[in-house]
Amino acid sequence: MKGIGVLISGGGTNLQAVMDAVDQGSIPAGINLVLSDRPGAYGLIRARKRGIPAYCINRKHFKDSGAFNRALLKKLKEYQVDYIVLAGYLSILSPELVEAYRNKIINVHPSLIPAFCGMGRYGDKVHKAVLEYGVKITGATVHFVDEGADTGPIIFQKHVEVLPDDTVETLSKRVLDAEHELLPRAVALLVQDRIRVCGRKVIIEERGSK
């Protein structure tokens, strides 16, 4: 069975959605490892409750980002991780790590990329920017990870209407619901080798098409 590594920085609700999908059999793979870059991340507790190995690799304990990412890569290899899922992970992966898992790393972002994304745009900061700009539609995006910030090929997107009386809290809840829907679907396709990348386009292979 293929092994998934999930990287988190916070509460881990997207991790929970992936764990539930694994338990239900809709993702035909196991979660071999959960890693966090923050020691207080509640997602680590979620994983340990399921009996999944979960560790914090705190970037503050490393002299530079290169050393930090090498420690990540070493742990991922140790636990025989085939695919990486970024589920609310706030650190940037090194080119070395991205190359080691080329087209095998996916991320979920709380906007319709390429809008409201890139360096410094994460979590509630995204929703605050959406509301300040006054757009009528936002949403969630699952995409492959490359060497940039939110620049990899897009796998799935789902739009979420911005309501006139929305706050950051109300909008973030609806966008998070969209993330919880999209991310397990994308992970399932990824581990079944049903996603093909052609330049910037992502093609979903039908079952039995190969």
Catalytic residue positions? 109
Q: Are 54 and 48 in contact (CB under 8 A)?
A: yes
What is the Cα–Cα distance from 210 to 205, expressed in whole angstroms? 8
Query: Is there a contact between 159 and 112 (Cβ–Cβ < 8 Å)?
Result: yes
Positive or negative torsion for Cα 178, 183, 186, 188: negative
CB atoms within 10 A of CB 138: 26
CA distances to 46, 155, 179, 186 from 197, rounded to whole Å, are 32, 9, 21, 13
